[in-house]
Chain A
Amino acid sequence: DAKTTQPPSMDCAEGRAANLPCNHSTISGNEYVYWYRQIHSQGPQYIIHGLKNNETNEMASLIITEDRKSSTLILPHATLRDTAVYYCIVTLQYNQGGKLIFGQGTELSVKP
């Protein structure tokens, strides 16, 4: 599984967009980019994932660069409840031997 690099911490003002970067320069062609977050005292929550194309759901948008070496998770209107540790994980599908390997993630603090 490819290694990812994320900033250890970020701040964001409530109501503004939060843009969380992730570098994965060694990603292989069939590895997916997954984003999870962990709010204090809870289990990780799945946010979004993608292979090549940009993806959007009710929680967030995922922008993957054309060379797939980096991606950005966008929370369009951050709220205080979005304060959490955000994990970017690159992995194969499970049936291809993929596993979720959690790094240290980015601790996002949304401030009033």
Chain B
Amino acid sequence: SAVISQKPSRDICQRGTSLTIQCQVDSQVTMMFWYRQQPGQSLTLIATANQGSEATYESGFVIDKFPISRPNLTFSTLTVSNMSPEDSSIYLCSVELPGGGNQPQHFGDGTRLSIL
């Protein structure tokens, strides 16, 4: 597996502000993903972070609201822009390790975000 570190682990933010969440992996990975888990709900895929190119967003998620960067094979950021209370969620990074197409994803412990 891999060690996946997310920063910050939690934050409380004011509405209208933006927060950038970092995901660092201790080894090079092929794929990196970002998920959202709203209170009491299951996980929803936001986007796939592509190294060296624009992220691929799922339906209902747009780049202006959730800009993503992936400058190399071990690091990605997710920004939650112009936050509102509805953005209060846990945001999770996951990675797929090298070694073939059916490798499982491994998750970080997430960033708990509360917007006042």
Contact = CB atoms under 8 A, between A and B. Distances in A.
B105 interface: yes
Contacts of A77: none
Interface string A93-112: 11110011111110000000
Interface residues of A, number: 22
B53 interface: no
B44 interface: yes
Which of B42, B102, B108 has the most CB atoms of chain A within a 10 A radius of its CB?
B102
B35 to A, nearest CB: 8
Q: Chain A's interface: helix, strand, loop or mixed, by majority? A: loop
B104 A34 contact: yes
Interface in B75-116: 92, 94, 96, 101-102, 104-110
A104 B42 contact: yes
Contacts of B42: 87, 102-105
B43 interface: yes
A53 interface: no
Interface of B: 1, 4, 31, 33, 42-45, 58, 92, 94, 96, 101-102, 104-110
Interface of A: 32, 34, 41-46, 49, 51, 87, 93-96, 99-105
